[in-house]
Amino acid sequence: MILPSTSKVNKNGHLEIGGCDLALLAANYGTPLFVYDEDTLRGQCRLYKNSFLGLKSNSEVIYASKAFVCLGICQLVNNEGLSIDVSSAGELYTALEAGFSPDKIYFHGNNKTDEELALAVDNKVGIIVVDSFMELSRLKELLNNRGVKQKIYLRITPGIKASTHEYIQTGQEDSKFGFSLGGAATLAVKKALENNCFNLSGLHAHIGSQIFATRSFSKAVEVIMEFAKTLNEKTGFVMRELDIGGGLGIKYHADDEPSTVEEYAKVISKAVTKQANRLNLQEPKILVEPGRSIVGTAGVTLYTVGTIKEIKGIRTFVSVDGGMSDNLRPMLYDAKYEALLANKAKAKASQKVTIAGKHCESGDVLIKDAMLPEVEMGDILCTPATGAYGYVMANNYNRQRKPAVVIVKDGQVKELIARESLEDLIRLDKRLKA
């Protein structure tokens, strides 16, 4: 199983994480319930920092908040010394409210609104990663109106098609993100250098998510460094900082073989040094933006089993009290997960079932052909490795209430996000007047 580092089976045969019995957590907080292990989460933050700083003192780890963001998680990664990247006014506001120093915030997005750009500039955000010519022009006007200067990166699409699901590939030329290499990117650099309101200090590239092959990252470094060499010769631009994005994959099920954080750090660091020496360039500061690989395996989701439907000779459906409203990835990306029964953690898996959600969609299926012990109504089903892109993509389809989120450590439980109430569902509704 792919579980947090503190996981164990207790004397009652129940799964424990962070010293907390998951069956009791489900009883106390209700289900669906997201449970995060604080030790695993902090451990990943420290592993990233130590891996990169151990190889390159001039490096920085930036948490990609889109993987999972709330006040408590922002406070935790800030406490661990990481910076943070945001891609909306909501993520930016949350990071600021959590106490992040603005100079440790990196603002992304392919379609930042005027409101979002103003919010970033007015709060003195450290870096705005500019994604298009239109954004460059709008940001210039905003900065000139305020009489201030802004540090920026330009997002480059290096033309690398990473080996991952097509929906989470972002580095190929046919992408909504960034400036294509060659004419567009070169022109963007020239425009940024021509305007005193910009401090163009680096380039950014992100080739996709859930990537196992580290050669994809070394190839991206090679392409960007060669481009930096060309830029230097044509414009005099010196790339002082290289943000290579995130994208390192995690283990979702037994067959997955992702690279380790240490391997990832070694590959990127060696590639930067190698290309800088080969091209006779100043070695830039290295920045990376992990998200999934920090929070993914730190979190699990708990459900209560409801209806069990056996179709003789075809399959057995085990329905749970959540589904596509709390984990949309199987429906979007055909993502694969494993499962176990938290209240029967010692029992032998003897039954092949399909775990279905409760929503009015035939496609609302979390796991096909999961192997479980004999399942009964009321059992607590646990899906590991749901710490990333679970709650942040949660929705209210069928007016399902969004789950609670808790974090556990040494037998103690802290609530990160409260469960929505029925009243919350209509809080923003307006009644029609007679």
| DSSP structure string for 408-431 | EETTEEEEEEPPPPHHHHTTT--P
| CA–CA distance, 415 with 408 (Å, rounded to integer) | 9
Rounding to the nearest 10 degrees, give the CA dihedral for residues 150, 151, 153, 154. 30
Give the C-alpha distances (Å, rounded to integers) separating 302 from 23, 117, 321, 368, 402: 9, 38, 9, 17, 13
Q: What one-letter code names the amino acid at 169?
A: Q
DSSP, collapsed to helix, strand or coil, labels residue 43 as: helix
Which residues belong to the active site?
360
The residue type of 203 is L
Cis omega before residue 4 (within 30°)? no
The pLDDT score that the predictor gives to residue 183 is 83
How many degrees, rounded to 5, is the angle at CA 387 between CA 104 and CA 212? 85
| Complete DSSP assignment for 280-323 | T-PPPEEEE--SHHHHGGGEEEEEEEEEEEEETTTEEEEEES-S
CA 211 to chain centre: 13
b/e per residue 110-136 (b: at least 16 CB within 10 A): eebeeebbbbbbeeebbbbbbbbeebb
Helix ranges (DSSP H) in 113-214:
114-122, 133-146, 183-194
d(CA 427, CA 237): 52
Cα–Cα distances (Å) from 351 to 254, 306, 355, 358, 382, in that order, read 18, 16, 12, 21, 16
Please tell me the predicted confidence (pLDDT) of residue 173. 61
List all residues 6 or more positions away from 173 whose beta carbon is below 8 Å from its beta carbon.
Answer: 157, 159, 180, 181
Q: Walk me through the domains of the chain, giving residue ranges and CATH numbers.
A: 8-36+297-425 (2.40.37.10), 108-290 (3.20.20.10)
Q: Which two tokens stand for residue 238?
A: 């010196």
Which ranges of 4-124 does DSSP label H, i.e. alpha helix? Answer: 22-29, 38-53, 71-79, 89-97, 114-122
In three-state secondary structure terms, 205 is coil
For each of the chain's 434 residues, which pLDDT tens digit applies? 699 999 999 999 999 999 999 999 999 999 999 999 999 999 999 999 999 999 999 999 999 999 999 999 999 999 999 999 999 999 999 999 999 999 999 999 999 999 999 999 999 999 999 999 999 999 999 999 999 999 999 999 988 765 443 433 344 466 788 899 878 999 999 999 999 999 999 999 998 888 988 888 999 999 999 999 999 999 999 999 999 999 999 999 888 899 999 999 999 999 999 999 999 999 999 999 999 999 999 999 999 999 999 999 999 999 999 999 999 999 998 999 999 999 999 999 999 999 999 999 999 999 999 999 999 999 999 999 999 999 999 999 999 999 999 999 999 999 999 999 999 999 999 999 98
In this prediction the pTM is 0.95
